[in-house]
Amino acid sequence: MRCSPSSITLLVLNLAFTIVGAHRSKSGWDLKDVKNIVSFGDSYTDENRLGYFINHNGSAPPVGWEQPVGLNTASGGLSWPRWASIYSNTTLYNYAVSGAVCSNRISPRFFASINAPFPDIAGYELPAFIADSKYVSPNGTKFFAGTPKDTVYAIWIGTNDLGNNAFLTDAQIPGKTLVDFVDCVYSTIAGLYANGGRYFVLLNLAPLQLLPQYATPAHGGLAATQYFPDKPANITEVSYRIWESVATVNDVYKYRTPFEVDISDQYENIHIANFDVNQLITDVYNQPEGYLNGTAPANVTGYINHCDLKGQNCVKQGGGDKAVADSYLWYDELHPSEQTDRIIAKEFVKVVGGESKYASYRESRV
């Protein structure tokens, strides 16, 4: 049987990963005394940073801005990184911005409220953290007291990049592909590494095809939503297309991380954990009774907060009762519920502790 060039390449890479991996710890994670979590992403992670932009005519927070705890995020409550900081008794530095993509040079999304694209990771979030990490207040206090050995950096991005008004609807910059998106994600890690970061958790893409906004009709998919009012009529095609994109990117992550750590030879003493949050949420979807503990029957196709296509006249299931809300996987058509965020946060703490079944760990010590 003849092997194609691409097959040979994969065989060589797999052999290389196996040989190099034999000289490295399979757990690849020895962060024992984590004190700080630094998070980047979009509305799945944001607490209230986008709100600052909205309330200040599109201006970014100043260097050294003390971000308040977001009590009513896109989950309807606390965000997953806030819960993770509570569960792990750590300090959270959250740079995520609702609506963000990895780079506005790849898939910009315009936001009328600030008369500009949503602030992205490459152009705003990463530079904002780097500036904060070097900031010293007039009284001599450092804004960021983290060290390479006690800080973990979390990156969860892609919902907007792959969604409508971006790759899903062919609205990306002409010539840009999913490869460019993945490159941006790993460039973020490179930027943080250059600034002193050594421990990273990369959360993969959520199962977007299960969201009410993107699901098939048989799984509760909607004809239109407040976030996608002009959705094409063939919602099954939309669902399968975004599923394909998610599966592609997540599979690339599996191979790109070992390449970056083991083969590229550009990092010394770097640790990357790939957190398969896609599988975690899928498990909640398939076995909800083991995760959702509200007073209503477990619900993985419906959602809590129902609004019209303009995002107005919202009505919450159960009248806003938190006990009822804990029965839902989704808060609205596009976002996980606070209960789901708690599930993600608890597993994130296990990932950081080096003991999660949803994580794969790679390290380089040379």
Q: What is the mean pLDDT of residues 22-27?
A: 41
Question: What is the model's pLDDT at position 242?
Answer: 98
Determine contact, residues 50/60, Cβ cutoff 8 Å. Answer: no
pLDDT beyond 60 at 19: no
pLDDT beyond 50 at 18: no
Question: Whole-angstrom Cα distance, residue 206 to residue 137?
Answer: 38
Question: Whole-angstrom Cα distance, residue 91 to residue 126?
Answer: 18
110: helix, coil or strand?
strand
pLDDT beyond 50 at 143: yes
Provide the CATH topology of domain 36-204+215-277.
Answer: Rossmann fold (3.40.50)
Determine contact, residues 337/293, Cβ cutoff 8 Å. Answer: no
Q: What is the mean pLDDT of the chain?
A: 93
Instruction: Give the whole-number percent of the chain exceeding pLDDT 70.
Output: 92
336: helix, coil or strand?
strand
Q: What is the pTM of this model?
A: 0.92
Which two structure tokens, joined as six digits, stand for 366? Answer: 């040379």
Question: What is the model's pLDDT at position 27?
Answer: 55
pLDDT beyond 70 at 22: no
Provide the CB-side half-sphere exposure for 241 (13 A, CA): 15
Tell me: the pLDDT tens digits for 66-121? Answer: 999 999 999 999 999 999 999 999 999 999 999 999 999 999 999 999 999 999 99
Most distant pair of Cα atoms in the chain: their distance:
71
In DSSP terms, which residues pair with 156 in a beta bridge?
41
Tell me: the pLDDT tens digits for 180-221? Answer: 999 999 999 999 999 999 999 999 999 999 999 999 999 999
pLDDT beyond 70 at 257: yes
Determine contact, residues 44/80, Cβ cutoff 8 Å. Answer: yes
